Amino acid sequence: MKAAWITNPRSGDLSVSVGDTDAPVPQDDRIVVDVEAVGLTFAEPTWATNGTLPLPDGSQRASPVIIGHEFAGRVAVTGSATSGFSTGDRVVGLIDFWRNGAAAEQASVLPGEMTHLPDNVSAVDACTLPIGALTAWQALFDFARLKKGETVLIHGGAGAVGTFAIQIAKDAGARVVATARGHDAVALCRKLGADHAIDTASERFEDVAGPVDVVFDTVGHDLLERSWSFLGRGGRLVTISGEAEDAPSPERAAALGIEAHWFIVKPDPAQLAEIVARVADGRIAVQIDRTYPLSDARKAFEEAESRARRGKTVLLVREAAGS
């Protein structure tokens, strides 16, 4: 089958290639999916899970390492020990980051990594949800415990996660303040429902945002550092930027009287099903920045380095992806 992969991460070669590789072998506890569309995360070639670290069992990950862990498609083969899915079902899901992803004509998926996809949500829209929207959901509700009437400051509101975070927080009854860089990005934040959008190219959020209960950071660096002292006692800071070693210090958080969390999104079919339902009924709008055919996966990564992105970039694996 055709697939996009990182050839040998342990050698330091982090470039993406496209070519032929073996299709997944059916297993009793797995479901083989005919992939239609895959959401891209441009930092993925640098992830330690791609081969620079041993697998959880201590072994080294075999090459090639197929990229693209959030996907939409149709069930092709069900394992004898699986349940809840049948051949032909439309599905959307998130494959564990330690295993091969879905930027391929077929992917091997655990039943607990995916949920059903209704006919009125396209594969292109759906494949942006398992990382972008699910990350926003878990940040706002599992870690920040956002409540109706609270104010949340979202750093990176025009990005692949931030665009969902604005809508999910607003739908939960929160007041939403978003930061973004540039006029177009700020306009997008307002379009998605932000009560106030701040252009970090010309404004400091501390000067105009006012008090907030929660900070959700998707950017890191100076914006994250300045957010520590911006929260009052009892505030909650959640970040997804950096690596585990960059996680917020519990001691610093305790000294300031706030909570601080860093996390990586985890597959959760129930949460994903709720998000999909909100897309289906129009409560969440998906922002697609650009689409590429699978054969142009390398080009997608190369072009991403030199342009601003608004929303998600998607690889189209099959012609049915847009339907």
Q: What is the DSSP string of 135-171?
A: HHHIIIIIIS---TT-EEEEETTTSTTHHHHHHHHHH
DSSP assignment letter at 286: -
In the numeric block, which tokens belong to residue 261? 């969390």
Helix and strand counts by DSSP (H, E) for the chain = 9, 16
Place of tokens 């090639």: 64
Q: For 183-242, how does the pLDDT look when each residue is reduced to its tens digit (9 = 90+)?
A: 999 999 999 999 999 999 999 999 999 899 999 999 998 999 999 989 999 999 999 987
162-174: average pLDDT = 97
Asked if the model's pLDDT at residue 138 lies above 90, the reply is: yes
Q: In this predicted structure, what is the pLDDT of residue 322?
A: 53
How far, rounded to the nearest angstrom, does the alpha carbon of residue 107 sit from its chain's CA centroid? 18
For each of the domains in the chain, give its residue range(s) and CATH number, in order of start.
2-128+286-322 (3.90.180.10), 131-262 (3.40.50.720)
Q: In this predicted structure, what is the pLDDT of residue 63?
A: 77
Q: In this predicted structure, what is the pLDDT of residue 12?
A: 54
24-40: average pLDDT = 97
End-to-end Cα, the chain, rounded Å: 22
81-to-77, 78, 89 alpha-carbon distances in Å: 12, 8, 17
For residues 101 and 243, is the Cβ–Cβ distance under 8 A? no
DSSP H or E segment with residue 300: helix 297-304
> What's the mean per-residue pLDDT of the chain?
92
DSSP H or E segment with residue 78: strand 70-78
Banded model confidence at residue 166, pLDDT cuts 50, 70, 90: very high
DSSP assignment letter at 129: I
Task: Please give the Cα distance from 197 to 153 (Å, whole number).
Answer: 10
Asked if the model's pLDDT at residue 299 lies above 90, the reply is: yes
Under DSSP, is residue 208 helix (H, G, I), strand (E, B) or coil? helix
Q: In this predicted structure, what is the pLDDT of residue 186?
A: 96
Q: In this predicted structure, what is the pLDDT of residue 88?
A: 98
Q: For 90-127, how does the pLDDT look when each residue is reduced to its tens digit (9 = 90+)?
A: 999 999 999 999 999 999 999 999 999 999 999 999 99
For residues 35 and 106, is the Cβ–Cβ distance under 8 A? yes
Residues in the chain, total? 323
Residues 6+ apart with CB under 8 A from 274: 137
DSSP H or E segment with residue 161: none
Banded model confidence at residue 49, pLDDT cuts 50, 70, 90: confident
In the numeric block, which tokens belong to residue 123? 């594969």
Q: In this predicted structure, what is the pLDDT of residue 304?
A: 85
155-175: average pLDDT = 96
DSSP assignment letter at 312: E
Q: In this predicted structure, what is the pLDDT of residue 256?
A: 95
Q: In this predicted structure, what is the pLDDT of residue 245?
A: 67
Tell which residue, 159, 84, 95, 97, has the closest CA to residue 130. Answer: 95
Q: In this predicted structure, what is the pLDDT of residue 55?
A: 75
Task: Please give the Cα distance from 148 to 126 (Å, whole number).
Answer: 27
pTM: 0.92
Asked if the model's pLDDT at residue 10 lies above 70, the reply is: no
Backbone phi, psi, residue 104, to 5°:
-160, 170
Asked if the model's pLDDT at residue 42 lies above 90, the reply is: no
Asked if the model's pLDDT at residue 320 lies above 70, the reply is: no
Asked if the model's pLDDT at residue 306 lies above 80, the reply is: no
